[in-house]
Amino acid sequence: MRACAKCFRPATWTANASPPEATVGVCDFGHSYDSQTWPTTAWVDSLFKLFELYEIETESGAGQEFASQIQADWQIFTFSEFGEVRQFLLSAVGDHELLSEGVRVRLKSGDLDRTDEVASWSQFSEEIRTLNRYFPQSAPDRDILEQTLLGSVDTLCTDTALFRARLAENGEPFDPSDLGAPPARRARAGRANPVGIPYLYLSFSPETCVYETRPSTQDSLAIATFHANRDLRVLNLADITPPDFFDVVDIEAMPEQIRRVRFHRYLRALGAELRKPIHPSDQPTDYIPTQYLCELAKSIGLDGVLYSSSVDPSGEGRNLVLFDPEKATCDALVRVASVSSLRLDWAWV
């Protein structure tokens, strides 16, 4: 079978084809005729090195099939179906025990501790919500958590427009000062901030901003635009880039490759924690794990956290919480929007 450059998310895979020369042909993975195609066996050596990072999962019900696991960890292929990923792998390497029907895999520990950071975070989250708040027994390894967070830091420039809205009752005009964070005495516990500590919640688009207010039809909203006063360093938990298998000095350095996958899994889990939908029945204690995460980000010198919106139906909504509300300034113009209709998505459960 033959593949083309469009089959791969990172360009480094085609750059590491062996032999590197491409020929005109038909891609067997949905991209039709292409001027540059390679036999799937051009990546057999690299794939065998990738296989070496995993082993058969022996615990019942744990792990995933190899094709779905490497897509979750590396996002190598652009295919949407795991069956195509498995087909590519079988055509490249032939029969392999990790590709056997029904076999599930797990990441090897290499020379690293076998601690599962994702499971540890889940255990810790439950403990600080329901058992031990200030002196938990299952606190995550702070060094590892800090390294993980610092691996996903982006710069937010001053020319980035950010938006914040409030319900405009009785059509009364809002002053820009009314759109800032509440004073400490009125700061209720939120997704990111502990009670009594005001953070500034912002969105990257007016549309996301409107959805985040959870308005009703016919509501009026005052919408303000903010800009950062200086370039800010923010933890990005919305756009988590998978590791590139070839982006290391030695792709056969198993401990380094395993470490990168574990950090990626950890970041994905933390991002999922922050974008969980908020329900009316939620208790203030439900926010404690994400408050801990944001306070840790603040303690290591970051200015805020960027996370995905759980209410914007486009799936592309992005929010930003700033730890210091004074680091962003509201523009003079506050506009008013009227909500004419709402979109409702639902499904049987």
pLDDT for the residue 283: 85
Report d(CA 187, CA 182) in Å as an integer: 6
Cα–Cα distance for residue pair 311/186, rounded to 1 Å = 24
Q: Tell me: pLDDT of 96 over 90.
A: yes
What is the per-residue pLDDT across 148-159, written as a single tens digit (0 to 9) for each?
899 899 999 999
Instruction: Find the helix or strand (DSSP H, E) in which 107 lies.
Output: strand 105-107
Query: What is the reported pLDDT for 68?
Result: 94
Find the mean pLDDT for residues 145-172.
Answer: 91
This prediction has a pTM of 0.85
**Highest mean pLDDT (candidates 104-108, 197-201, 237-241):** 197-201
CB 300 within 8 A of CB 149: yes
pLDDT of the residue at 293: 94
* Alpha carbon 177 to chain centroid, angstroms: 32
Tell me the average pLDDT across 67-80: 93
Amino acid at 158: T
pLDDT at position 273 over 60: yes
Q: In the prediction, which pLDDT does 114 show?
A: 62
Residue with tokens 């009670």: 195
Structure tokens at 31: 């991209």
Confidence grade of residue 255 (pLDDT, cut at 50, 70, 90) = confident
* Cβ–Cβ under 8 Å, residues 235 and 295: no
Q: When comparing pLDDT for 328 and 250, which is higher?
A: 328
Q: Kindly report, residue by residue over 97-123, the tens digit of the pLDDT.
A: 999 999 999 999 865 566 678 888 899
- As a whole number, mean pLDDT of residues 20-41 equals 90
Give the 3-state secondary structure of residue 68: helix
In angstroms, rounded to a whole number, what is the distance separating the alpha carbons of residues 326 and 226? 11
Question: Which H helix or E strand runs over 91?
Answer: helix 82-93
Residue with tokens 């292929």: 77
The Cβ of residue 120 has, within 10 Å, a number of other Cβ atoms equal to 17
Q: Which pLDDT band holds residue 66 (cuts at 50, 70, 90)? A: very high
Least Cα distance to 89 among 42, 49, 40 occurs for 40
What's the mean per-residue pLDDT of the chain?
91
Report the C-alpha gap between 86 and 92 in whole angstroms.
10
What is the DSSP code (8-state) at residue 327?
A: G
- Give pLDDT tens digits for 280-305: 778 889 999 999 999 999 999 999 99
Measured distance CA(8)–CA(250) in Å, rounded: 21
Q: How far is CA 21 from CA 38, 39, 171, 246, in A?
A: 8, 10, 67, 19
Whether the Cβ atoms of residue 206 and residue 337 lie closer than 8 Å to each other: yes
pLDDT of 46: 94
What percent of the chain is predicted at pLDDT more than 90? 67
Three-state secondary-structure class, residue 124? helix
Instruction: Decide: 331 and 229 in contact? Cβ < 8 Å.
Output: no
pLDDT recorded at residue 171: 64
Q: Are 215 and 166 in contact (CB under 8 A)?
A: no
DSSP 77: B
pLDDT tens-digit readout, 205-231:
999 999 999 998 889 999 999 999 999
Closest by alpha carbon to 278, among 319, 325, 316, 237?
A: 319
- What the chain holds in terms of domains, given with CATH numbers, is 2-107 (no CATH), 149-238+275-338 (3.90.175)
Shortest CA distance to 2 belongs to which of 61, 44, 42, 55? 42
Sheet with 153-156, strands from edge to edge, namely 153-156, 232-236, 304-308, 318-322, 200-203, 162-167, 220-228, 328-338
